[in-house]
């Protein structure tokens, strides 16, 4: 009984979650509350980015404030390839991922000489350098940004192929694309976590000298970890760019692309596969909830949601820095042996 319970419980929960995620937008589609589909899209996007951030931040233990650079690389590459060569956005996404991973490897290798807080600051530094480049580089149209030529208005299959949904099904289409990419990233992260790679990452985090002592090249594996993060961020960047139909530096290089997924990861449980997912489900709707409840009142648009984020993260840091998933859920749910 106990043994089967231990396996059955989590599997049932996983199945139920997947079903819920699949069914969630359908009643909203019929009732016309498509806004909440967009909330779901943002939750999935941030959860995906959080899973990506968790690879470098949670497993390899290197705090990264600059992955939005690779978010921008993905978004810009797919947009440029579409505008200049008419390349399909899915191929553009592959190109963006490869581009972001290569750039990340080149930039991160020298940075891995720095450790701890100094590495963290150096990722901020790279972002500070990327901003004026993004704002002035003529190839990517400087601070004016790029607009993605609208091609929507076709059937669902062609919309999916062109990654452009419009009208009443816009929110629905992007929700399911985000769900598909999220599941892909989650499965990939699960495989990495179980592989030798995941073991090396955690070994470096827990004891860098010890890891080097058993022959793990810590600089190489930090570079690999950050490049995986960069790849996930590039996927997110392409998705967001096509959703917004525009890519410009202040949007793509927004610091919130690293702070929100990072907070989600910390709230849910840093270094745990499902940590960023739980965190995103808790944090992201707060923003949307606030803007609907505050309406047009005096406190609307005054950052109340971000104050709540700040308080949550402070409380987590002070009371349970290992995150909500580290609470003894298995015992509470009766899944423990």
Partner 1 sequence: MALLLQAIANGLLMGFLYALVAVGLTIIWGLMEMINFAHGEFLMLGMFGAWGLSVAFGLDPLVSILPVGLVMYGLGVLVYRLLMRRVQRGDPFTQIFATVGLLFLLQNSAVAAFTSDYQYLTNTLLTRLSGAKIQILGINLGIPLLIGALLALVLFLLLYLLIDRTEFGLALQATAEDREAAMLVGIRPQKMFAVAWGLGAALVAVAGCILANFFAIYPQVGFPFTVLAYAIVALGGFGSILGTLLAALVVGVVQSVTTVYLPPAFKDAFVFASYILIGLFRPQGLFGRF
Query: How buried is residue 312: exposed, middle or buried, by Cβ count under 10 Å (0-12/13-18/19+)?
Result: middle
How near is the Cβ of 79 to partner 1 at its closest, in Å? 21
Choice between 61 and 231, CB closer to partner 1: 61
Choice between 25 and 145, CB closer to partner 1: 145
Q: How many CB atoms lie within 10 A of CB 49?
A: 31
| Residues 12, 34: Cα–Cα separation, whole Å | 29
How near is the Cβ of 317 to partner 1 at its closest, in Å? 4
Choice between 18 and 299, CB closer to partner 1: 299
Provide φ and ψ at 247, rounded to 5°.
-130, 120
How near is the Cβ of 261 to partner 1 at its closest, in Å? 12
How near is the Cβ of 126 to partner 1 at its closest, in Å? 8
Residues 6+ apart with CB under 8 A from 311: none
How near is the Cβ of 262 to partner 1 at its closest, in Å? 8
| Residues 14, 19: Cα–Cα separation, whole Å | 9
Query: How buried is residue 190: exposed, middle or buried, by Cβ count under 10 Å (0-12/13-18/19+)?
Result: middle
Choice between 136 and 292, CB closer to partner 1: 136
Do 124 and 65 form a contact (C-beta atoms < 8 A)? yes
Choice between 87 and 306, CB closer to partner 1: 306
Choice between 17 and 207, CB closer to partner 1: 207
Do 198 and 59 form a contact (C-beta atoms < 8 A)? yes
How near is the Cβ of 94 to partner 1 at its closest, in Å? 30
How near is the Cβ of 123 to partner 1 at its closest, in Å? 10
Choice between 179 and 284, CB closer to partner 1: 284
How near is the Cβ of 149 to partner 1 at its closest, in Å? 28
Beta bridge partners of 247: 146
Contact residues for partner 1, defined by CB under 8 A: 61, 63, 110-111, 113-114, 116-118, 120-122, 124-126, 128-129, 131-133, 135-136, 255, 259, 262-263, 266, 270, 299, 302-304, 306-307, 309-314, 316-318, 321
Do 127 and 250 form a contact (C-beta atoms < 8 A)? no
Q: What is the DSSP string of 92-159?
A: HHHHHHHHHHHHHHHHHHHHTTS-THHHHHHHHHHHHHHHHHHHH-GGGTGGG-EEPPP---S-HHHH
How near is the Cβ of 144 to partner 1 at its closest, in Å? 14
Choice between 129 and 289, CB closer to partner 1: 129
Provide φ and ψ at 246, rounded to 5°.
-160, 150
Query: Hey, is 253 helix, strand or coil?
Result: coil
Q: Where are the alpha helices (DSSP H) in the chain?
A: 2-23, 25-31, 35-54, 68-85, 89-111, 117-136, 156-162, 170-194, 196-206, 208-213, 218-244, 249-252, 256-268, 275-294, 304-319, 329-332
Choice between 57 and 89, CB closer to partner 1: 57
């Amino acid at each position: 009984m106990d043994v089967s319970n231990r396996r059955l419980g989590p599997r049932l929960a996983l199945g139920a979650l997947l079903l819920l995620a699949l069914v969630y937008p359908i009643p909203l589609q019929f009732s016309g509350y498509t806004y909440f589909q967009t909330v779901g899209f943002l939750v999935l996007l941030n959860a995906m980015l959080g899973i990506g951030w968790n690879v470098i931040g949670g497993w390899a233990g290197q705090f990264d404030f600059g992955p939005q650079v690779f978010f921008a690389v993905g978004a810009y590459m797919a947009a440029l390839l579409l505008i200049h060569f008419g390349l399909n956005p899915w191929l553009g996404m592959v190109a963006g991922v490869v581009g972001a991973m290569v750039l990340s490897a080149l930039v991160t290798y020298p940075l891995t000489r720095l450790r701890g807080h100094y590495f963290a600051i150096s990722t901020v530094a790279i972002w500070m350098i990327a901003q004026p480049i993004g704002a002035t580089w003529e190839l990517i149209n400087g601070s004016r940004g790029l607009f993605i030529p609208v091609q929507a208005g076709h059937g669902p299959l062609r919309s999916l192929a062109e990654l452009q949904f419009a009208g009443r099904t816009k929110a629905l289409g992007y929700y399911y694309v985000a769900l598909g990419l999220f599941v892909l990233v989650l499965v990939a992260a699960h495989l990495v976590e179980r592989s030798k790679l995941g073991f090396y990452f955690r070994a470096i985090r827990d004891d860098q000298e010890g890891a080097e002592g058993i022959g793990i090249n810590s600089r190489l594996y930090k570079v690999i970890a950050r490049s995986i993060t960069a790849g996930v961020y590039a996927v997110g960047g392409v998705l967001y760019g096509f959703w917004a139909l525009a890519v410009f530096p202040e949007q793509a290089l927004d610091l919130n692309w690293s702070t929100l997924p990072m907070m989600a990861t910390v709230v849910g449980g840093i270094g745990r596969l499902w940590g960023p997912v739980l965190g995103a489900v808790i944090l992201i709707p707060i923003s949307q909830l606030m803007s609907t409840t505050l309406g047009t009142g005096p406190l609307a648009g005054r950052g109340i949601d971000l104050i709540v984020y700040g308080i949550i993260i402070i409380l987590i840091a002070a009371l349970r820095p290992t995150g909500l998933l580290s609470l003894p859920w298995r015992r509470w749910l009766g899944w423990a042996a």
